[in-house]
Amino acid sequence: MASYRPQMTHAGINRLHTTTVIDEHGDSREVSLTGERPLTIYLNTIEIVTLMTLGGQPELLTLGYLRNQGLVDELEDIESIQVDWDVEAVAVTTRKSKENLDELTSRRTVTSGCGQGTMFGHVMDSLSQLKLQCPTFSAESIYAALKALTEYNEMYKQAGAVHGCALCEGTDILMFVEDVGRHNAVDAISGWMWLNAVEGHDKVFYTTGRLTSEMVIKVAQMQVPLLLSRSGVTEMGLKLAQQIGIGMVARAKGRHFLVYNGIERFQQTEAAN
């Protein structure tokens, strides 16, 4: 576990609301709605980005975003993270600022994440340096992870309109986050890993969303070598996984899945038992 922690608020908010609807028979009923709030990140008073989020774990989301965008180098550089929902903002204070922050944030790629994510250009430029080794895995290990995940996705079951992401170690679900966009959920898990000095090299990352280029990049930055999704894969996501060396398993639900990358690391013999 990390010994250093910045000063942080604990400003998670209620993420479920209710409304009255009419069903196909004309009957009224009360249903749950997923919350969604803007949260603007300020880094030493400089406005960085506004994220649309459930708001359940805004401090972890902020940590992970700054980490994955390469805007803060070390956890110890951060003095405080203060969330204020009255102004829908989070103020991050660091001991030192990156000298080239304006340059780093000058180029943005709008990604395909729900609610639209962003990826700064320097992150895209650094992909050639990211190299991982997909671990060996089997059908039974995939089935076991999926079974362990069935008790999660609580908000999705109640209200829908969210994506879930999880960091797994075997059948242990170390962290599970739901948010309106998968990019937020993965950032929150990245922030949790950074805060608690959790390494990713022996972990599996699960998402309910598509395996896009953004997801591959973020997971690679977290040093997690195997991606698992119940959804599909984009062409660029696959190309990046092949370039970086990340195993990619998608369309995973029940007793079905497809291995898109890492086929040579897939142990088929165990699946036949």
Residues of the chain with CATH 3.10.20.10: 7-122
Report CA torsion sign: 218, 190, 159, 249.
positive
pLDDT at 14: 74
Q: Which CATH number fits domain 7-122: 3.90.79.10, 3.30.70.1560, 3.30.565.10, 3.10.20.10?
A: 3.10.20.10
pLDDT at 181: 81
The tens-digit pLDDT sequence of the chain (273 residues) is: 568 999 999 999 877 778 888 878 888 988 777 778 999 999 999 999 999 998 999 999 999 999 998 899 999 999 999 999 999 999 999 998 777 676 666 655 444 444 445 555 455 556 667 899 999 999 999 999 999 998 886 654 554 557 889 999 999 999 999 888 888 999 999 999 999 999 999 999 999 989 999 899 999 999 999 999 999 999 999 999 999 999 999 999 989 999 999 999 999 764 444
pLDDT at 154: 64
CATH, range 137-272: 3.40.140.10
Contact 248, 238 (CB under 8 A): yes
Q: 54-109 pLDDT, tens per residue?
A: 899 999 999 999 999 889 999 999 999 999 999 999 999 999 877 767 666 665 54
∠44-115-98 over CA atoms, to 5°? 20
Residues of the chain with CATH 3.40.140.10: 137-272
Nearest to 183 by CA among 41, 45, 83, 69: 69
Whole-structure pTM value: 0.86
* Percent of the chain predicted with pLDDT > 70: 84
Report CA torsion sign: 151, 153, 154, 157.
negative
Count of residues in the chain: 273
Residue partners of 113: CB distance under 8 A and separation at least 6: 181, 182, 183, 209, 212, 214
Structure tokens at 60: 């972890």
pLDDT at 273: 42
Contact 81, 64 (CB under 8 A): no
Residue 242 to residue 100: CA distance in whole angstroms: 31
Residue 187 to residue 64: CA distance in whole angstroms: 4
pLDDT at 159: 46
∠133-116-77 over CA atoms, to 5°? 60
